[in-house]
Amino acid sequence: MPIEVDLDNRIFHLCSRNASYVMTVTREGYLAHLYWGKRLTASSSLLRVLAPISRPFSPTSEHNSLWSLDLLPQEYPGFGHGDMRAPAYQVLLSDGTTVVDPRYRGYRIMAGKPALSALPHIRASSSEDAESLEMELEDVYSRLHIILSYTVLNKLDVVVRSVKFVNHSANPMRLLRALSVTVDFPEQPWEIISLPGAWGRERWVQRISLGQGMVSQESRRGTSSHQANPFWAMVNPGTTEESGKVFAFNLVYSGNFLAFSDLDQYGQVRSGMGINPFDFSWHLEPEETFQTPEAVLVYSDQGLDHMSRTFHDLYREHLYQGPWKQRDRPILINNWEATYFSFTEEKLLDIALTASGLGIELFVLDDGWFGNRNNDRQALGDYDVNRDKLPHGLGALAEKVNQQGLDFGLWVEPEMVSPDSELYRRHPDWCLHVSGRSSSWGRNQLVLDLSRLDVQNWIIETLSKVFRRANISYVKWDMNRSLTETGSSALPRERQQETAHRYVLGLYHILDELTHLFPHVLFEGCSGGGGRFDPGILYYMPQIWTSDTTDAAERAKIQYGTSLVYPPVAMTAHVSQIPNHQVGRITPLAARHWIAMSANFGYELDLADLTSEEQIRVANYVRFYKSTLRKLVQWGEFSRLQDPFNTNGVSWMFSDREQNEMVVVYLCLKTESNPNRTWIKLRHLDSRSRYRVRGCTLKPEEEGAWEAIAGDELMNVGLGVWPRQDYFTQSWHLVREKGGEGGGF
């Protein structure tokens, strides 16, 4: 059973395939954390980790000078009652104090996993998939109840945690801090891996040593942000892709968050993650509840590769559950970098016609199709079709695109409004604002107050009309600025610090309604590129525009970092024009294709500007993606083979689940004079099988012969490449030979 209970010792043992997570109720009634790591066969002797030690300046119990919460590893610690470390929660009571002391009240075990109301969550309703545990704590003085939820995924080394607060008193109280998870770790050397960044260079891999004090990553921007990502991993020094222990956290949330690790004076480490307590509070009237977002905990004793595969499997199978979960994602052409705001119906149809002839499957109309939207300074929010550009309307354009053999998609940015718009002139109070204060602008726009139900309903109704106006099969949902002046005219004074979280809840309500109203539509998330790339968005939208940067060399780093947590099927990437519009770099057509084809694949350029020879090559890439690579990117497994942050190149591998077919991609970022040969060592092959290997030039006249190589040789010697110039690419197609160990082609 995934959850074992030893009532004699009051030990709760959560077992996944390869991991154990263990807690106990102490004699004093506190919920103590005993262990998280490699699976244990038994847990009864783990109580010895709580053996008391006398420590100066650690507050103790009046009844036991060795007992101190400051030394106890806890499941969900508070502050003010002896534990001097960072707390998981803080509550302001009606008497003005913040000291609460919750003790164990009871537990409940359930088959499957309960759904969360109004929040995205990991889905595992079947008892075959998961088992769940609720631990209830109670502070008898304030009558605050805290319910800790744990779910164990049977087939994955995953624990999902969340927390619910219930005010059972007769007085209001206010949550000042409500993290989704904390875990206390014993003394040992640690390194922290996180994914900070900026617009245009999201989710770069950062790895630092943990010294005494606190290390954190956070967003205060209203979204998970370009600058941070709600991912946090603790690793032992020396941990690699293939070996070492990893303890990873990921928050299923799209707003302000905090992730931290705090190393105290005795070497104990407390790590936590949840809604950022900065500028947050939540008012709880009697009998009201507050539910935190879920946090996903992943353990690996096989390095970062196994951690990533666990996250990838979890999010592919247990997050998004709409029709596009099993459908092939279309190859698209987006008009944005080809035309920006300046287009006509004729120009759009020319782009679509060229794309159709090259095998592309979907045409996407980006910004500029509505209102008086000829630049980014006006008309955002006015979703009537611009008849000067599209004289026959959106429906007619979609029909003409369909006649050319392509599906039709549309860009929207419904969370924003231009001050120069009819919507703003009608409803200036619908924006986030603080009375008496001027409002900050971003991309010449303001933010609609999604905490308001009337604004939510307007967005749902307006977009529903747009989506019914034409045969739309894809929607790109953009969001191009951070939240500022985060106040709401619809909330009372005592609830103003709820606005940022209510904004996120409002967004989730809108997405839930629209994805149910239009299940056939493939929704793609975007926030100035990858500014809101998190599991909360992926719950509703199965893919996200990874970055506004389309340069192959920059994207290699962005997609590499993103892959630590999120599967390639969650990313989108486009081949764009050169010189690149973001960095001015000129990269070969092959480099742009192999990086873009390493995700959900598309184009963002005027294909008519390509030479006839280049168009032939584009058609070859499209055919290869359709016939071979798409199924591996979307449904297969992914491994990182070369790190672009510490070497001059990047390499990764896609394979089917049985390791019968693979594609390996290599890109040289920067070569040197008289370079050495680089060897790319593969992973997860059958060492006893032989594999037919051929380089993929996708130029018929240059394709080499298949070469048979043993699996152990490919993993221990590798594939050789000679990087003769910057942005040189080499890719290989591998097929396991028939009759090889474990089957094959």
Q: Which residues are annotated as a binding site for substrate?
A: 199, 366-367, 443, 476-480, 526, 548
Both tokens assigned to 437? 């204060």
DSSP SS3 for 375? coil
Q: List, in order, residues 6 or more apart from 63 with CB less than 8 Å away.
A: none
As annotated, the active-site residues are 478, 548
Q: What is the chain's length? A: 745
- Asked if 123 and 317 count as a contact pair (C-beta separation under 8 A), the reply is no
Residue list for the binding site: 199, 366-367, 443, 476-480, 526, 548
Give me Rg for the CA atoms of the chain.
27
3-state secondary structure of 452: coil
- The pair of structure tokens assigned to 159 is 């624990």
**What does the angle CA 700 – CA 701 – CA 704 come to, to the nearest 5 degrees?**
80
The count of other CB atoms within 10 Å of the CB of residue 666 is 22
- Are 298 and 312 in contact by the 8 Å Cβ rule? The answer is no
**DSSP state at residue 530:** B
Taking a C-beta distance cutoff of 8 angstroms, is the pair 663, 733 a contact? yes
Rounded Cα distance between 133 and 136, Å, is 10
Contacts of 729 (CB under 8 A, 6+ apart): 588, 590, 591, 594, 665, 666, 667, 668
| Rounded Cα distance, 730 and 697, in Å | 8
Tokens of 552: 């192959």
Contacts with 493 (C-beta within 8 Å, 6 or more apart), sequence order: none
Contact 639, 662 (CB under 8 A): no
Give yes or no for a contact between 418 and 445, defined as CB atoms under 8 angstroms apart. yes
Query: How many other C-beta atoms are found inside a 10 Å radius of the C-beta of residue 243?
Result: 15
Mark residue 45 as left, alpha or beta (left: phi above 0; alpha: psi -120 to 50; beta: remaining): alpha
Phi, psi at residue 441, to the nearest 5°? -105, 155
CA distance readout (Å), 708 to 137, 629, 654, 705: 62, 21, 19, 10
The token duo for 262 is 């705090």
In our burial notation (b when 16+ CB lie closer than 10 A, e otherwise), range 488-507 reads bebbeeebbbbbbbbbbbbb
Whether cis (ω within 30° of 0) applies to the bond prior to 59 is no
Q: Can you tell me the distance from the alpha carbon of 255 to that of 451, in angstroms, rounded to the nearest whole number? A: 13
Of 8, 272, 63, 17, the C-alpha closest to 155 is: 17
Q: Is there a cis peptide before residue 579, judged by omega within 30 degrees of 0?
A: yes
